[in-house]
A and B are shown apart, each in its own frame.
Chain A
């Protein structure tokens, strides 16, 4: 029907703060993550780790860092292991500067796993691993839609969302958060059943203890989550709840 005007969203990449969306071999969600950032009214730049490594790019030139999902280096020896190792071995100073200058950092799925491998999560200790994301209890990759309840709003990413239930997809094989020191774990987002955190499978596809799907560091600037907010950023995805996180970033960066 040629007379019909298709639905379209108002999507105008704007001037202002620029967010680095980090690409490395095997990362595969950089495009849609960059789109969600732009959809929130920010600028996004996909930064290739190769260029960071060769000194052509510097992560501290950006106002925020997002490590998107994928299978960096094939997730060999542990999800996020080798990318984490590269980041710590080669750009520790840049990571530390991001932390010390209070720039927001987000890790989504593999990005979350990578942040944990660098030590940025749970506690901002670059080079010291204090947590891990272990294989799902089902020992399977789980691709599903889940409900997530916001249990903590002391992060810039979840500010103002207290008690909200957000709907997003998950897609991962290793999403079961593991820690030795519970005092370092600050859950913000939990797999939910009837609005309450749950360990019930498959509502909690990873079998994550406490239903923990996303955690923050003590400053609330660094945040990691297993679900994919960028895949729930438009109405026709079935949910645009994921935009809440990106909109929060935009509010924070634009003051």
Chain B
């Protein structure tokens, strides 16, 4: 087989220019940088004829030898490892077909970087620290490093594991040797099952079981603590008329208008993102989008989020625990990955957010999808024996094997290399094709049921779909990326971009035609049966034959010990600012805090208007950088019905009181929805937990958090309809240091509103309007605030009044919402959260070009003066009331303070009893606010 390399050079190369600038800024000694792209081809194809695909001679040149001269500086070439398929490879094949070129067998891509002015050692350091991911990439050192480019090899056969007579220690040894990560109780259950069926279990059978029983899939921790029951009981008790589908499916569904259902799902992908951020974050999006596509009988994604939690990206490299990636790299790579995946998917970004906490060496990587589906297709049908099992989308490869069990295990220094297979390269183009095709398949009644492939691969998708009937698969029919896959690997592979559907036999031909029309690869891999068994063959070889009830219902649940943790007792040390300089410093510290500063340098890299549904994007206002409280979509074309999404999470509050943090997260998410105009009757909730690895104190806190949100959900009448938990937030460095993630809960609301034209945005509208702070307020409760964090303190009390407070809040929110529908006197609104009142005043000013005058004497005297501006009075809403309106008329009986006015000068002016405390031009504040994040991702 002939191997040919095509080298492509750009006449002008912004990527190289920007990289050079960034590297110079970061202190590397460089005078020049060039990037040459390499396309490696295998086969007998006429390369000349393929060149129009690789080169536009207007702005590119090409050659068959590298055009970089060795004398200009060290050259390092980076490409994917041979086991990985390049994202571009299928396009090369497709392009070759269009050009009528035969004989192409494979294509791979790489990039050659030349670092002028650097030594070889310096160049290697630059690559290692900035450009290279050893988990999926390789440094290519010769022109033809491989005898063939294809990922290939010889597969193993089916292995058997006799467990009879093995001691506990021997079982554990077997589990570790095979990366099953199963607890002893599960191994013993397997041993018992072996005895019952009278033959040794196969590799596939054990793998299927431990995957299905992993915490990731079976939620063993939550089940043991009965947390699922608690949350689901609350939802059942609320019995909300809008709820269509809860917890059972891939996402939760809420009735919308005109017989449509809006669905929501959030999913973390922490472990892969922590060890190989680009692949991990890309597949985080791919996975959570597929949850919408695989909802009911086939949904469609209409919004996404990305929420990252890392250590401070400005942490010196020496202070990052060994075995963890540098947080700056995680942040930057996550941005690149989110753009790489979500933009081609054409899914508008609803909410991009980046949070920091020293407990995040094992980062948090969360993504949401909002979707839409006609109500009549919102519930899956039971499969019927005889239905075909159709697998479509991407091909099956070695990627992602052991993803579920690895993600449930603690991250260790070792795992950065050991579980490389858990990391995958997403291919958004593949997923996009079937996202377009699935609604057509559905509307033509081709899908009895559909689900995506995630943890556990084919075994889980087809197995769960057939759990009440049975399924028989022939793995030799599965289309592979890599011929070396053993049968159990085909069954368990978590390769991305695959869907599994139950297609009635009489609809099969039609379904195949639709899949072909959308250029989607598929294969019919089996049939649903009625024998309640999961049976898999590879040709004639039996790979697995197990009883469905054993897989889905027999997981032993271990008791988890629960113990109340010691109370933390701390006082706020910081003194109230007393001079204008101290006040100014405080304001700037808050506005430049990583959580409050301008993160739009990341957010504007994600398409937020695609699909033509966006009414309120992640940013708004005059300069397009004011963060909005909510994302509003008008999903039904030409209709003003709104689907509203809000998000809340705080990584500091949990350090003081996990249950309080959980409460405030629910309240903040609801307050944001109410602020833009959603009624309390039209809100449902979704939870995503990320907590340290379970131990008695963690179990206590976890339980307290779940009980809190369950109670709160009942009080508000806002049910949780979807949720996900990860109890694996513990990092262990190679020096044995154990670092827990902060107790993290992300709450999102999904709301509906009849008319998006009635939505209220955050920016100020009119000079002279009254500023009313609506809600209970205590300026001494500064605990967990950004303000204290900026001065290195966590403080003591959260701005929190316990669960019964929700009753008062609900009354207040209903009253406020009532004003929105006729001659609304409320001109702008923003929910108070991190950064307190100050951040809202600032944002509403930059969004409007106006300013605010605030009088501190409007606040109760007993509170801290700095707390007036910086306390995070979650639940409260800052509203702008028409100047001629009487606040008492609208808010009588509610807690409210008239704190100031909108002014025509773009500045924040703070007075106290007539005395000037502070006068800050917005333009000056913008200059400091826009810097920190932009510098991190430069």
Contacts and interface: CB of A to CB of B under 8 A. Distances in A.
A236 B339 contact: no
Contacts of A17: none
A140 interface: yes
Given A70-B346, A141-B339, A171-B343, A50 B609 contact: no
- Range, interface on chain A: 35 or more
A137 B18 CA distance: 9
Interface string A68-84: 01110111111001100
Contacts of A8: 638-640
Given A6-B640, A29-B610, A85-B53, A142 B519 contact: no
Contacts of A26: 344, 429, 432-433
B624 A236 contact: no
Given A25-B429, A25-B519, A50-B517, A136 B14 contact: yes
A39 to B, nearest CB: 7
Given A90-B98, A129-B58, A143-B604, A237 B614 contact: yes
Interface in B411-467: 427-429, 432-433, 436
B15 A139 contact: yes
Contacts of A90: 98
Given A6-B754, A26-B433, A144-B624, A231 B609 contact: yes
Contacts of B92: 76
A171 B607 contact: yes
Contacts of A51: 517
B208 interface: no
Given A77-B54, A171-B609, A236 B757 contact: yes
Given A28-B432, A76-B87, A82-B98, A141 B605 contact: yes
A132 B56 contact: yes
Q: Say which size band chain B's interface belongs to.
A: 35 or more
Interface in A1-35: 1, 4-9, 11, 23, 25-26, 28-29, 31-32, 35
Interface string A23-56: 1011011011001100100000000101100000
B606 interface: yes
Nearest to B637: A35
A233 B519 contact: no
Nearest to A73: B91
Interface string A105-127: 00000000000010000000000
A11 B612 CA distance: 15
Given A36-B612, A71-B432, A228-B609, A134 B14 contact: yes
A168 B58 CA distance: 29
B854 to A, nearest CB: 29
B315 interface: no
A178 interface: yes
A12 to B, nearest CB: 10
A39 B91 contact: no
Chain A CB within 10 Å, residue with most, of B608, B634, B638: B638
Contact of B639 (A6, A28, A71): A6
Interface in B338-353: 339, 343-346, 349
A114 to B, nearest CB: 13
Contacts of A85: 52-53, 95, 98-99
B281 to A, nearest CB: 15
A71 B344 contact: yes
Looking at A74, A131, A231, which has the most chain B CB atoms within 10 Å of its CB? A74
Interface string B70-81: 000000000000
Nearest to B757: A7
A1 B821 contact: yes
Max count, chain A CB within 10 A of own CB: residue among B14, B516, B608 = B14
Contacts of A135: 13-15
A26 B57 CA distance: 25
A238 B345 CA distance: 23
Given A71-B432, A73-B94, A89-B98, A139 B757 contact: no
A48 B91 CA distance: 18
A74 B58 contact: no
B347 to A, nearest CB: 9
A35 B58 CA distance: 36
B88 A6 contact: no
Interface in B1-44: 12-15, 17-19
A142 B53 contact: no
A36 B612 CA distance: 9
26 contacts: A4-B821, A6-B639, A6-B641, A7-B756, A7-B757, A11-B637, A25-B518, A26-B429, A28-B345, A29-B346, A31-B611, A35-B637, A39-B638, A69-B610, A70-B432, A71-B428, A74-B427, A81-B56, A86-B94, A132-B59, A142-B605, A143-B349, A143-B603, A143-B605, A231-B612, A235-B757
